[in-house]
């Protein structure tokens, strides 16, 4: 394994949820400890299973791992860190500022940026504590900060004074006001991240086109900021031996090999390792030790069993229920790489086939949607919102209004704030808002929607909903975009996820975020399920069995309405394939 050779003191693993960061970081820690190294493993997963992996309680202080001599572990709970972080900022101003300003600041501090910055606040103590490197040879982190966070930490100027003078105008600089450590400490932390003698960054991915494109963007952004000591690990690769007597396995293998042969330009130059898809969950030291085996051994699970099929509704049944309303807004939401665009296109085509007038709108790149549809229907209108153009238009508007009276340092801070993911979500949602009103007379299917945090932030900072209500009073009826989204008769939100632990957790967190904004998801779509696919591959059957607890957890804890969509031998591209997907 290339990434395991000559490892520097700090090792960061980064990648999308569900790609296997925690498993690989735990396996790496075990490998190094087995070589006689003293290792500290730091987890920042909000549902960390490090304790489960090693069958002991870890928690937020350093604990030796009993099953692995030489290994200690620490679990940073980012949600808890963010809660303490918010309290440090908001509690002192309660009663001093108007309630609407306090609520606006609180909402600014409720998003992913706050959670990430709060977690990085904890990281810096580990990155700059010289005494830790006298106790440990290596410190392994299973999450790395994004480029946006690192740029914020590099900014000159006084964060707190900017927030004091712009209480309603910042969405991601707000969290910076709570940083209480010395600025020199952050400078040292960023310096350590950029030093290849001290830090190695491992990008973890799966062999899926969308995942690889996202990892390529991460690579480019971090390299631009000076984090150039990067390696690529491609996890979960299907072994060719599984393709001999199974059509589905053969199709998956061919797709993965094609993706491997056509890596994005930025990734193809990186030192790269591939890890085989494993038949069992990565829990326990013995399982993790097998993760880095260079050859795949299938003998341990050649025995096949009849796999119980979960009870589920088809995507067709979901569309039938949607069609009864004859019009409305259908929003598909979820993390990247779960198949939102494909699901949105399939639902739009199915509604159009039923004779309805349908408008499908997306902020995914136009080529992606064009390739997905690969055709047209007379009663299906398609619009493609360019996130870059919309964000740039929004940025210029904010700079010309809120930024017009700022000095140079203040403008630099505002410009950085406007590079955040929240900014793109707000800009794209404003573009989406122009077509929302159509949902009163036709179906509008919306792909790539904003999070509940962004909607609340938009509502809080713009005060649009409240301003309309104040002006209208008792004079008449009105509907704002926020009210439309909160009305279950007008809007159906569908969460798209995969039948795996981390994607389900991420979807559940997104649902809680939306519910905080008064938006209650109508149903879930669990995409790419092996448990209802036709396969005889022993490995895929084992993987299918592991999906069942996740599907049942969604049914019991999160959703009353669930549709399962099977893994397909062929990519569902083109109108005919999308029709087959709905069935």
| Residue 353 is a catalytic residue | no
Both tokens of 557, joined, read 């804890």
CA distance 416 to 410: 10
Instruction: Output the furthest CA–CA distance in the chain (Å, rounded).
Output: 76
Q: Please, how many CA atoms are within 13 Å of residue 230, restricted to the half-sphere of its CB? A: 24
| Residue 169 is a catalytic residue | no
Both tokens of 43, joined, read 């987890």
| Residue 452 is a catalytic residue | no
Q: Which of 14, 22, 43, 350 is labelled catalytic?
A: 22
For 484-498, give the DSSP string.
Answer: HHH-TTTEEEEEEE-
Closest CA to 414 of 111, 152, 86, 90: 152
| Residue 142 is a catalytic residue | no
Q: Which of 14, 28, 44, 45 is labelled catalytic?
A: 45
CB within 8 Å of 495: residues ≥ 6 apart? 333, 334, 507, 510, 511, 521, 523, 524, 525, 559
Q: Taking a C-beta distance cutoff of 8 angstroms, is the pair 36, 70 a contact?
A: yes
| Residue 245 is a catalytic residue | no
Q: Which of 15, 20, 337, 410 is labelled catalytic?
A: 20
Q: Which of 14, 16, 17, 23 is labelled catalytic?
A: 23
| Residue 21 is a catalytic residue | yes
CA distance 540 to 464: 50
Q: Which of 15, 17, 18, 147 is labelled catalytic?
A: 18
CA distance 282 to 541: 17
For residue 362, what are the β-bridge partners?
384
CA distance 448 to 332: 7
Q: Which of 218, 420, 502, 535 is labelled catalytic?
A: 502
Q: Taking a C-beta distance cutoff of 8 angstroms, is the pair 45, 313 a contact?
A: no
For 149-184, give the DSSP string.
Answer: HHHHHH--S-HHHHHHH-TTS-SSSGGGGG--S-HH
H-type helices in 326-420, by residue range?
Answer: 340-353, 366-373, 387-401, 408-417
Q: Which of 15, 16, 17, 21 is labelled catalytic?
A: 21
Pairing of strands 443-447, 358-362: parallel
| Residue 475 is a catalytic residue | no
Q: What residues are labeled active site? A: 18, 20-23, 45, 502
């Amino acid at each position: 394994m290339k990434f395991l050779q000559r490892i520097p003191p700090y090792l960061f693993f980064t990648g999308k949820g569900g790609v296997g960061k925690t498993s690989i970081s735990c396996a790496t820690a075990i490998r190094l400890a087995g070589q006689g190294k003293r290792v500290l493993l730091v987890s920042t997963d909000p549902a960390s299973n490090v304790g489960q992996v090693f069958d002991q309680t870890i928690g937020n202080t350093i604990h030796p791992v009993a099953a692995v001599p030489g290994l200690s572990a620490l679990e940073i709970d980012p949600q808890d860190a963010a809660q303490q972080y918010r309290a440090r900022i908001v509690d002192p101003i309660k009663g001093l500022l108007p309630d609407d300003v306090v609520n606006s600041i609180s909402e600014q501090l409720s998003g992913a940026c706050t959670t990430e910055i709060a977690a990085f606040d904890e990281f810096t103590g580990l990155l700059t504590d010289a005494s830790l490197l006298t106790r440990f040879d290596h410190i392994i982190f299973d999450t790395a900060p994004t480029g946006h966070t690192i740029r914020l930490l590099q900014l000159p100027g006084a964060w707190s004074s900017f927030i004091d003078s712009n209480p309603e105008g910042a969405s991601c600089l707000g969290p910076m006001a709570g940083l209480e450590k010395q600025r020199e400490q952050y400078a040292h932390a960023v310096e350590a991240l950029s030093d290849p003698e001290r830090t190695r960054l491992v990008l973890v991915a799966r062999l899926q086109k969308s995942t690889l494109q996202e990892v390529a963007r991460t690579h480019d952004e971090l390299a631009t900021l000076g984090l150039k000591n990067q390696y690529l690990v491609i996890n979960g690769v299907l072994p060719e031996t599984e393709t001999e007597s199974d059509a589905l396995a053969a199709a998956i293998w061919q797709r993965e090999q094609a993706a491997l042969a056509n890596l994005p330009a930025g990734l193809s130059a990186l030192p790269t390792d591939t890890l085989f898809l494993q038949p069992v969950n990565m829990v326990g030291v013995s399982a993790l030790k097998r993760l880095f085996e260079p050859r795949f051994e299938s003998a341990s699970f050649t025995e096949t069993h009849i796999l119980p099929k979960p009870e589920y509704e088809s995507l067709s049944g979901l569309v039938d229920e949607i069609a009864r309303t004859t019009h409305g807004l259908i929003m598909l939401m979820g993390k990247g790489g779960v198949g939102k665009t494909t699901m949105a296109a399939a639902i739009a085509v199915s509604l159009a086939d039923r004779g309805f007038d349908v408008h499908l709108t997306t902020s995914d790149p136009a080529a992606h949607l064009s390739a997905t549809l690969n055709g047209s229907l007379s009663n299906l209108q398609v619009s493609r919102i360019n996130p870059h153009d919309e964000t740039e238009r929004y940025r210029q508007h904010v700079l010309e209004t809120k930024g017009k009276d700022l000095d140079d340092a203040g403008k630099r801070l505002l410009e950085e704030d406007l590079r955040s993911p929240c900014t793109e979500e707000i800009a794209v949602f404003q573009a989406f808002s122009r077509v929302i009103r159509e949902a009163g007379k036709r179906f509008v299917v919306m792909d790539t929607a904003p999070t509940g945090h962004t909607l609340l932030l938009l509502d809080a900072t713009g005060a649009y909903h409240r301003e309309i209500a104040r002006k209208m009073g008792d004079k008449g009826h009105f509907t704002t975009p926020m009210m439309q989204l909160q009305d279950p008769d007008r809007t159906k939100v569908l969460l798209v996820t995969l039948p795996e632990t981390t994607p389900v957790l991420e979807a559940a967190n997104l649902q809680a975020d939306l519910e905080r904004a008064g938006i209650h998801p109508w149903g879930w779509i669990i995409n790419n399920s092996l448990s209802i696919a036709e396969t005889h591959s022993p490995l895929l059957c084992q993987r299918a069995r592991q999906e069942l607890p996740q599907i049942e957890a969604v049914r019991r804890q999160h959703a009353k309405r669930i549709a399962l969509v099977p893994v397909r031998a062929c990519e569902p591209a083109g109108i005919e394939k999308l029709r087959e997907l709905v069935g």
